Structure 1
Amino acid sequence: MWKPFGKINELIIGEDNNKYHINFLRIRNKKLSEKIPFIGNLHFIDQEEIKKFRTPKRTEEHASGRYLLHHMLRKYYPEIDCSSLEVCRNENRAPFFNWTNSRFKHIDLPNFSISSSNDYVIVALCNSEMSIGVDLEKLNQKRTDTLFDFISKGRELEQIKSLYGKNGNYNLNRIWTAKESILKSLRLGFSISPTKIEVLDNNYEFKSRINFEGKKLNLINMILNLNEEYCFSIAYS
């Protein structure tokens, strides 16, 4: 039976922190040679999906995220019967809750976003009237300049090149997390190019408000000191 590694921590950030909940959990470190753990006892597990996992690390990441999601749903939405829910994905592979019992179809369900990076998984949960997206990356995650044209263009592309020349991966990873959190909040994934979204203003600072095709999002981008430094972004409306 799978059990979590470490304790669950709550992250409280932003002036709207009463509108959403963020928790994070450390992921158990597994060697490639170790046996893939059984995680079928957890909630919100797709048995067909987990059959495709080929490494213990990927399995631990998925298990930690699903465990944390279930914990948060019980904590912040105790009125919801978790046994009557499943996690599905839309056409862009954005995850969402779905009732398995048709008797409850009239009850709106919260929205959520999950991200994992190296040693940690982080989950954000909000009510059905909001959208939310989070992304977490190690601050020193190695990137190459081949990423530039994939994530940006025009003025922002020149800004990224300048920042990369000064401090390498530091700001590149922060920009990456900002854009990915926005795409998650929009529930678009990479069905659109990240170049269509600008996150830097003229002063090389992160924008706090993003407007994409009439949809307005709030953006918070920050550094978290966990066992190492991580960059974290949350986008929500």
Structure 2
Amino acid sequence: MKMWNPAAPPAPLDLPMGTPQGVTAAWIPVRATEPTAPPPDVREVPLVNRNEAMRFKSAKRAEEHASGRYLLAQLLFISGYDPNLLRIDRDAYRRPMIAGLDFPPSVSIAHSGGVAAVVIGPNRLAIGLDLEPLDVTRQRNILPLMASPGERKLLGKLWDEDAEEASVRTTELWVAKEAILKATGLGMGLAPQSFTAEGLHEVQIPNRGIFHILRSQVEFDGRPFALSLSYQN
């Protein structure tokens, strides 16, 4: 089994205007793999759980996981922490949390379209990061799975008029909602169609409070992505 190594050095990730102070992010390309390729050995990557690493069946999943954990370790080191003394635990909703510190920084990990990205921030913040490539065509039938009734009506009309623009808007909405789901800590335990985010900068989540949404478009190696950062003070 081949030992894992990063596909490239980490690079800073520009976050949307309005990002709270103390929040920083970076990205790294995820190595492309063949569907039948065996997974690399990622057990020695910082912050990777060795037992979890043994269960990876696909090279793609192993590469994504290792890239995200490696990137998180780099950001923690730059921020003054020793990642070799820390570990990542998951709560009941599988949210990754840093263990080994009294007041650990908040973290969020995203990977899609051959890119892994990580954001870390102060302990007082709940944060969620998501991104998706904009050059991948979305299908209209995803709307009932992720859009509120009002959003379905708005985007459904756009799908009738301009499918290309509707695909972009659908991706941007999904990215915003995914960032919110991560920031709440509930993940898919919170139905994305249960709340509205289209056109909003703040969303009220029952029993969780208000979450801010920041959006931008970024490029990774010339490829356009939608990016959203959600946070709660």
TM-score in same-fold range (> 0.5)? yes
Aligned-pair identity (%): 23
Paired with 1:124 and 1:93, the residues of 2 have a C-alpha distance of 17
Structure 2 residue corresponding to 1:2, chosen from 4, 11, 17? 4
Deviation at 1:141, TM superposition (A): 2.6
Q: Which amino acid aligns with 1:91?
A: A
Deviation at 1:22, TM superposition (A): 1.1
Matched, 1:72 2:75: yes
- 1:116 corresponds in structure 2 to 111
Deviation at 1:39, TM superposition (A): 1.0
- 1:208 corresponds in structure 2 to 201
- Residues 79-124 of structure 1 show CA distances to partners (whole Å, capped at 9, x for unaligned) of x33233211111111111112xxxx5xx211110001012100101
In the alignment, is the contact (CA less than 8 A) between 1:140 and 1:169 conserved in 2? Answer: no
Matching of residues 76-155 of structure 1 within 5 Å: 76=79, 78=80, 80-99=81-100, 107-155=102-150
In the alignment, is the contact (CA less than 8 A) between 2:19 and 2:214 conserved in 1? Answer: no
In the alignment, is the contact (CA less than 8 A) between 1:164 and 1:171 conserved in 2? Answer: no
**CA pair 12-140 structure 1, distance change in 2 beyond 3 A:** closer
Give SS of 2:200's match. coil
- 1:12 corresponds in structure 2 to 14
Q: Which amino acid aligns with 2:183?
A: S
- 2:64 corresponds in structure 1 to 61
Matched, 1:163 2:158: yes
Structure 1 residue corresponding to 2:170, chosen from 157, 169, 172? 172
Deviation at 1:66, TM superposition (A): 0.5
TM-score normalised by L of structure 1: 0.88
In the alignment, is the contact (CA less than 8 A) between 1:164 and 1:172 conserved in 2? Answer: no
Q: Which amino acid aligns with 2:131?
A: L
**CA pair 150-72 structure 1, distance change in 2 beyond 3 A:** same
Paired with 1:19 and 1:176, the residues of 2 have a C-alpha distance of 26
Paired with 2:224 and 2:14, the residues of 1 have a C-alpha distance of 17
In the alignment, is the contact (CA less than 8 A) between 2:148 and 2:195 conserved in 1? Answer: no
Give SS of 1:175's match. helix
TM-score normalised by L of structure 2: 0.90
Paired with 1:65 and 1:134, the residues of 2 have a C-alpha distance of 12
Give SS of 1:93's match. coil
In the alignment, is the contact (CA less than 8 A) between 2:150 and 2:196 conserved in 1? Answer: no
Of 7-16 and 125-134, more deviation after overlay is shown by: 7-16
Give SS of 1:229's match. strand
- Residues 188-224 of structure 1 show CA distances to partners (whole Å, capped at 9, x for unaligned) of 0011211122112xxxxx3222222261222112211
Paired with 1:73 and 1:164, the residues of 2 have a C-alpha distance of 43
Alpha-carbon RMSD across the aligned residues, in angstroms, is: 1.6
Deviation at 1:145, TM superposition (A): 2.3
- 2:213 corresponds in structure 1 to 219
Task: Extract unaligned runs of 5+ from structure 1.
Answer: 201-205
- 1:183 corresponds in structure 2 to 181
- Residues 124-143 of structure 1 show CA distances to partners (whole Å, capped at 9, x for unaligned) of 10111100001111113333
Task: Extract unaligned runs of 5+ from structure 2.
Answer: none
Structure 2 residue corresponding to 1:33, chosen from 36, 46, 63? 36
Give the number of aligned pairs: 224
- Residues 156-175 of structure 1 show CA distances to partners (whole Å, capped at 9, x for unaligned) of 22012123332242111110
In the alignment, is the contact (CA less than 8 A) between 2:155 and 2:166 conserved in 1? Answer: no
